[in-house]
Amino acid sequence: MITPREPVGWSSLEQFVAALEEGGHVLRIQRPVDVELEAGCIADRVVKMGGKAIIFEQPRLPNGNISKMPLIMNLFGSHERTKMALGVNEFSEIGNRLVGMMKPDIATISKKPWKGISLALQGLRMSPKRVKRAPCQEIMMKNPDLTRIPIPKTWPDDGGQFITLPLVITKNPESGEHNIGMYRSQIYGPKECGLHWQTHKHGAEHADSNQVNEKVPVAICLGGPPELIFSAIAPLPDNLSEFMFASFLRNKRLPLVKAKTQNLWVPAECDVVIEGYYVPGETRTEGPFGDHFGLYSLEGDYPVMHVTAITHKTNPLIPMTIVGLPPMEDGFLGESIGDSFLPVLNFQHRDVVDLFIPLQTGFHNLAIIASKQRYPRQARKTCLGLLGAGQLMFTKISVAVDADHKVKDFNALLDALHQKVEPASDLITIQGMVSDTLDSSSPWENVHDKLLIDATTIPHNDPRKGGAGIPRGSSFDATPDWRRGLIDAPGVSVDFCAKVRAMESVSDAILLRPSIMVITTKITHGPDSKIGMKAIEDPNSWVAQVDSSREQRKKIKQLMDLIWQLEDSENLRWLFITDDDVKLHSAGANQKLLWQKL
The parent domain of residue 60 ranges over: 13-319
- Is residue 403 within 8 Å of residue 373, measured between CB atoms? yes
pLDDT at 474 over 80: no
Same domain, 309 and 381: no
pLDDT score at 390: 79
Per-residue pLDDT band at 209 (split at 50, 70, 90): low
Give the pLDDT confidence of 539-586 residue by residue, as tens digits.
Answer: 677 777 777 778 888 889 999 999 999 999 999 999 999 888 888 888
Mean pLDDT computed over every residue of the chain: 89
- Helix axis angle for 242-250 and 117-125, nearest 10°, is 120
Out of 422, 454, 486, a domain closes at 454
Q: Is residue 487 included in any domain, yes or no? A: no
In a domain, 330, yes or no: no
pLDDT (average), residues 213-232: 95
Contacts of 539 (CB under 8 A, 6+ apart): none
**Residue 389 identity (one-letter amino acid):** A
Rounded to whole angstroms, how far apart are CA atoms 96 and 234?
Answer: 15
pLDDT at 151: 99
User: Using only C-alpha atoms, what is the Rg of the chain?
Assistant: 26
List the single range of 10-24, 267-281, 296-310, 546-560 with lowest mean pLDDT.
546-560
pLDDT value for 121? 59
Q: Is residue 327 part of a domain?
A: no
> Within this chain, do residues 422 and 515 fall inside the same structural domain, yes or no?
no
What per-residue confidence (pLDDT) applies to 283?
Answer: 95
- Please give the pLDDT value at position 527: 60
Reported as a pLDDT band with limits 50, 70 and 90, residue 437 is confident
Cα separation, 360 vs 111, in Å, equals: 50
- Give the CA-trace dihedral at 154, 159, 165, 168, to 10 degrees: 170
Whether 291 and 373 map to the same domain: the answer is no
Give the residue numbers marked as catalytic: 291
Residues 453 and 469: their CA atoms lie apart, in Å, by 24
Q: Please tell me the least confidently modeled range out of 134-148, 259-273, 440-454, 532-546.
A: 532-546
Does 449 share its domain with 302? no
Q: Dump pLDDT digits (tens) for 280-292.
A: 999 999 999 998 8
Find the mean pLDDT for residues 444-466: 88
Q: Model-level pTM?
A: 0.88
Q: What is the pLDDT, as a whole number, of residue 545? A: 74
Least confident span in 250-259, 334-343, 432-441: 432-441
Least confident of 75-79, 256-260, 521-525, 569-573: 521-525
Give the separation between CA 577 and CA 197, rounded to whole angstroms.
34
Domain CATH number, residue 417: 3.40.1670.10
Lowest mean pLDDT among 97-111, 147-161, 430-444, 496-510: 97-111
- For residue 122, give Cα distances in angstroms to 4, 178, 389: 21, 21, 26
Q: How far is CA 252 from its chain centroid?
A: 28
pLDDT in tens, 60-108: 999 999 999 999 999 999 999 999 999 999 999 999 999 888 776 665 6
Q: How many domains does the chain have?
A: 3
Residues 132, 201, single domain; the answer is yes
Question: Taking a C-beta distance cutoff of 8 angstroms, is the pair 105, 116 a contact?
Answer: no
Q: What is the largest CA-CA distance in the chain?
A: 82
pLDDT score, position 5 = 45
Strands 300-312 and 272-278: antiparallel
Q: Containing H/E element for 208?
A: helix 202-209
In a domain, 488, yes or no: no
* 459 located within any domain: no
CATH classification of the domain holding 267:
2.30.110.10
| Residues near 98 by beta carbon (within 8 Å), at least 6 away in sequence | 248, 341, 343, 344
Q: How far apart are the first and last CA of the chain?
A: 34
pLDDT at 326: 83
Per-residue pLDDT, 419: 97
Q: Which of 454, 485, 512 is the last residue of a domain?
A: 454
Same domain, 43 and 151: yes
Whether residues 448 and 532 fall in one domain: no
Above 60 in pLDDT, residue 120?
Answer: no
Q: How confident is the model at residue 462 (pLDDT cuts 50, 70, 90)?
A: confident
| Residues 217, 353 share a domain | no
Cis omega (within 30 of 0) on the bond before 288? yes
Among 428, 454, 480, identify where a domain stops: 454
Q: Which residues contact 106 (CB under 8 A, 6 or more apart)?
A: none
Q: Is residue 469 part of a domain?
A: no
Tell me: do 207 and 144 sit in the same domain. yes
Rounded to whole angstroms, the Cα distance separating 391 from 444 reads 19
- Which pLDDT score is estimated for 580? 85
Regarding whether 443 and 530 lie in a shared domain, the answer is: no
| Cβ proximity of 559 and 519 under 8 Å | yes
Q: Provide the H-helix boundaries in 520-588.
A: 529-534, 539-564
pLDDT of 2 above 70: no
Is residue 472 predicted with pLDDT exceeding 70? Answer: no
